[in-house]
Amino acid sequence: MTEIVKELDHLWLIEEIAAKQRSRDRKIKEGDRNTAYFHALANQRRRKKFISKLEGPNGMVNSTADIMNVAVDFYKNLFGFEPTMNLNLADDF
């Protein structure tokens, strides 16, 4: 029976640590087991960072696939390059 209690305490500790890391709350003291609080903080941060719509070249998009396509195209254009041909190599010699 004591092994089961120790295992349960260990599982609670693991869940508590994971919830603290997800919440990124630095004011929490060791030993707090208010995991609902940690989950609420993590969910709040997730909602804050969620992109629900994005303006693309053809207007606003709000589906996940369209948002991903607009973002990928934006960064391809930003970091991509257009190959240029230097046809004046003979002039350099």
Q: What is the pLDDT of residues 52-64, one digit of tens each?
A: 899 999 999 999 9
3-class secondary-structure state, position 55: strand
Q: What number of CA atoms fall less than 13 Å from residue 91's CA on the CB side?
A: 3
- Top pLDDT among 69 and 86 is at 69
Q: What is the pLDDT of residue 35?
A: 73
CA 89 to mean position of chain CA atoms = 47
> Which two tokens mark 36?
């609902």
Whole-structure pTM value? 0.45
